[in-house]
Amino acid sequence: MFEIVKKRALADNIVEFVVKAPRIAKHCEPGQFVIVKEEDQTERIPLTICDFDRKAGTITLVIQIVGRATEKLCQLNQGEYIAHVTGPLGKPSEFVTMDPEELKKKRLLFVAGGLGAAPVYPQVRWAHDHGIPVDVIVGAKTKDILILEDEMKDVCDNLYITTDDGSYGYHGLVTGKLEELVKNDGKKYTDVIAIGPMIMMKFAALKTKELGIPTVVSLNPIMVDGTGMCGACRVLVDGKVKFACVDGPEFDAHKVDFDQAMQRQRLYKTEEGRARLAQIEQDTHHGGCGICSEVK
């Protein structure tokens, strides 16, 4: 059992939990995630670790209500317990394994769309703690659902806010602001890390490819089971089959087949669609749990 030591609402239907999980806090790194189950029989929910405090033995999770399982989870309060929190899972962000002195020679730009601000934050904080200069673009549909603005300001050099409706900051998409920074303001970025909805990451990747900037994306939005066995996060990267939960979640953005991944996600939502995918993909459908042979 994992105690909720702090709870706060970040926006409508978006909740932040600080959870007591000493072992996970001791070993996790930016970019990794956990699997959460509110009770023994409830759905498995993969959640990126938004922050961690090794000394306090806590991790921070940001949860958006999108269905019954996340709704039940978000109804829990401070002092109550989550039945299962498993992790850390996935590979840490590649740059946290690099020499900080070499990273200081780079100019990093993080681009976060919507809830993507949650997995971007620990990476930016890590960079800040190691004296690495970074800029951040955070985009949201409206000001009302913008999250972690103050926290991000504290750990980055420059923060740029965009809203689709123009209610706050730059009026437009994150890709528009990215292009403006490079073409109009003369910013020279060596690397971009983009995290958010699949459609946002697709167009961010197209824009950075046009601008000639190497880019990494995190495919955590397509994870379901978190072990590579359900087949939900199967994706083609440079023409090769990968699973976001075990091979990632971060990949070279310019090698990810976003159109295939998004089309596959639409099929995966129905039982008929999952059976069809199993027939098409055969042994590459998932990580080898044996289900495919039963649904051919």
Domains, the chain, ordered by start: 2-89 (2.40.30.10), 94-217 (3.40.50.80), 219-296 (no CATH)
* DSSP character at residue 81: E
Task: Render the burial of 43-63: b for 16+ CB within 10 Å, e for the rest.
Answer: ebbbbbbbbbeeeebbbbbbb
Q: Give me the sheet containing 58-64, strands edge to edge.
A: 81-82, 2-11, 14-20, 58-64, 45-53, 33-37, 84-89
Residue with tokens 């167009």: 203
- Asked if 114 and 138 touch (Cβ cutoff 8 Å), the reply is no
- Asked if 49 and 33 touch (Cβ cutoff 8 Å), the reply is yes
The tens place of each residue's pLDDT in the chain, 296 residues long, gives: 999 999 999 999 999 999 999 999 999 999 999 999 888 777 888 899 999 999 999 999 999 998 888 999 999 999 999 999 999 998 899 888 889 999 999 999 999 999 999 999 999 999 999 999 999 999 999 999 999 999 999 999 999 999 999 999 999 999 999 999 999 999 999 999 999 999 999 999 999 999 999 999 999 877 776 666 677 788 899 999 998 888 888 999 999 999 988 887 776 666 666 666 665 666 666 654 333 333 33
- Where do runs of H (alpha helix) occur along the chain? 22-27, 68-74, 100-103, 117-129, 149-153, 174-179, 198-211, 244-247, 258-268, 271-281, 292-295
- Asked if 44 and 224 touch (Cβ cutoff 8 Å), the reply is yes
pLDDT given at position 207: 98
Q: State how far the Cα of 103 lies from the Cα of 202, in Å rounded to an integer.
A: 25
Q: List C-alpha distances in Å: 91 to 27, 31, 47, 218, 234.
A: 12, 7, 14, 11, 16
Compute how many other C-beta atoms are within 10 angstroms of the C-beta atom of residue 75: 11
pLDDT given at position 296: 31
Q: State how far the Cα of 16 lies from the Cα of 112, in Å rounded to an integer.
A: 17
Quote the pTM value.
0.89
What end-to-end distance do the CA atoms of the chain give, in Å?
A: 39
Q: Which amino acid is at 143?
A: K
- Asked if 261 and 198 touch (Cβ cutoff 8 Å), the reply is yes
Provide CB contacts within 8 A for 204, sequence distance 6+: 111, 113, 174, 175, 178, 192, 194, 196, 215, 217, 253
Task: Render the burial of 6-35: b for 16+ CB within 10 Å, e for the rest.
Answer: ebeebbeebbbbbbbbeebbeebbbbbbbb
pLDDT given at position 290: 36
